[in-house]
Amino acid sequence: MAPAPADLMAGKSLGPRHLEILDGLETIVLTEGFRELTVGTIAQRLRCSRRTLYEIADSKEALVLIVIDRVLRRLARVAHDAARREAALLDRLRAFLLQGLSELHRATLAFSEDLAAFPEAADLLATHFRFAHGVVENMLLEGIDSGEFKEIHPRIAAETFDAAMRRLLDPRVLRESGVGFAEAVAEYLTLFTDGIRAPVPLKRKAL
């Protein structure tokens, strides 16, 4: 499994006001995008000083990366918690993949377009997805061993999941399909989980 992504807030001493600012910036980034933002406009919209923003990060780009990393870490916590509440492996896998997406329901096409134009942010997202890829592969292995999933190649199945996530982040795909990222992923996961489910044996009719 790929190593867990480094926490971009590690070592930072942030108070309640800093966290409040990050919450506000998260809403802006996810719903409006971030390409046109500057430190000045962020300070104005969130009613804080530039100095307070620079206490969090030394540039707008670094602020955006912290916001995205924070969202993805919360997504991972929600996903793992949802999976732990399920007994059946298929329900556990589906919960892991779907429930975390609730954290991305606000992500708009503008966010996806700006993400595609910001290589560092796209790389950060890919790092988080690679870690999730390993979790999915382990769940697939467990499901295959237990007979709950079909006899599929777990690495190939996990690779298709990873490839699909990358494809669905493409703004052109989202624009042409007319859906947001979270909705697109939910559609894909219906196909994915239905495809790996082991068929239910037919019961013999009594003679």
pLDDT tens by residue, 147-156: 888 888 888 8
pLDDT at 200: 62
**What percent of the chain is predicted at pLDDT more than 90?**
40
Buried b (16+ CB within 10 A) or exposed e, 17-32: ebeebbebbbebbbee
Minimum mean pLDDT range among 77-81, 135-139, 168-172 = 168-172
Angle between helices 60-84 and 16-32 (to 10 degrees): 90
pLDDT at 205 over 60: no
Average pLDDT over residues 114-137: 89
- Reported as type and span, the H/E element at residue 48 is none
Q: What is the mean pLDDT of the chain?
A: 87
Residues 19 and 26: beta-carbon distance below 8 Å: no
**Whole-number Å distance between alpha carbons of 151 and 204:** 23
pLDDT digits (tens, 9 = 90+) for 67-111: 999 999 998 899 899 999 998 888 898 888 887 676 677 888 899
205 versus 147: which is more confidently predicted?
A: 147
Q: pTM to 2 decimals?
A: 0.84
